Amino acid sequence: MNAATVTAPATARPVRDEGRIGLRANLRHIGALVRRNIMQIRQDPESMFDVLLMPVVFTLLFVYVFGGAISGKGNQDVYVNYVVPGLMAMMGLSIAMAVGTGINDDFRKGVMDRFRTMPIARSSVLVAKIVVEVGRMLVAIAILLGVGFLLGLEIKTSVLELLAAVGLSLVFGASLTWIFILLGLTMKTAQAVQGMAMLVLMPLQFGSSIFTPPSTMPGWLESFTEYNPLSNLADAARALVNGGPVAHSVWMTLGWAAAITVVTAPLAIARFRKKA
């Protein structure tokens, strides 16, 4: 046989990596994973209990426990217009916490091993979870507003500004999910994720203007609330619903959302690639 006719050995087929997956394919993967997560919710409707019940319980609890102390006995309806816009900020934070435990549980059950064998962008798994969680936040905020209207909430601005408050809450809530995804990928167990999340959750929630005006707090705590991003979001939502200066709070909230996403999203994706 002529040596010139000898063919070179076949090279191994290149493995498709995330860098070679185009934007259209990425969006298709995200859509498929969003449908998967929604189907999981349909098969396990109990996973929506926090979304359906938390807004009702929290609104009733804080209006009738704190309302009389802050606005005077019998004037809880005044407190409704203060606390309900603030609770929009709390909904996003509380619901985002579930993402971390869900990610951690998926690794424990081996779900991520299946994703590892598929030619999909690793980031699409995380983005799909965030899309679903934002949808859950929207449901929770809708229920929160419904309960608020039943208790006497008044929109003193316009429907468009109310929608702007909802949108701002969703944008900030989406940024928070990256923090809890990173926790879920870092901690060893779902219980550890919940414990660490509560350590983050409690100071941010109660050291803010969500429930009470900062002017009633000690000086050191009042200073903390000024830098607390939840206070900025609560103040922005409150101004959009009740009227008043809004630009500073809105821009501060958007700035915090951008900063949180820019810092934690790359860390979470890198951690996910390494772990998956």
Secondary structure of residue 26 in the 3-state scheme: helix
pLDDT for 73 equals 67
Token pair for 233: 């979001």
Location of structure tokens 């396990």: 44
User: Tens place of pLDDT for every residue, the chain, 276 residues?
Assistant: 444 444 434 433 334 445 566 677 778 878 888 888 888 888 888 878 888 899 999 899 888 887 777 766 666 778 899 999 999 988 888 888 888 888 887 777 776 667 666 667 777 888 888 999 999 999 999 999 999 999 989 999 999 999 999 999 999 999 999 999 998 888 888 788 888 888 878 888 888 888 888 888 888 888 888 889 999 999 999 999 998 899 999 999 999 999 999 999 999 888 888 875
Token pair for 203: 């100071």
Would 9 be classed as within a structural domain?
Answer: no
Please give the tally of structural domains in the chain.
1
pLDDT for 90 equals 86
Neighbours of 150 (CB within 10 A): 12
Which domain range does residue 241 map to? Answer: 23-34+44-275
Would 242 be classed as within a structural domain?
Answer: yes
CB burial string 16-55: b at 16+ within 10 A, e below:
eeeeebeeeebeebbeebbeebeeeeeeeeeeeebbeebb
Which burial class, exposed, middle or buried, applies to 107 when counting CB atoms under 10 A from its CB (0-12, 13-18, 19+)?
A: middle
The whole-angstrom separation of Cα 275 and Cα 109 is 14
Would 256 be classed as within a structural domain?
Answer: yes
Would 1 be classed as within a structural domain?
Answer: no
Q: Which H/E stretch holds residue 71?
A: helix 67-71
Which burial class, exposed, middle or buried, applies to 139 when counting CB atoms under 10 A from its CB (0-12, 13-18, 19+)?
A: middle
Would 3 be classed as within a structural domain?
Answer: no
The whole-angstrom separation of Cα 151 and Cα 243 is 19
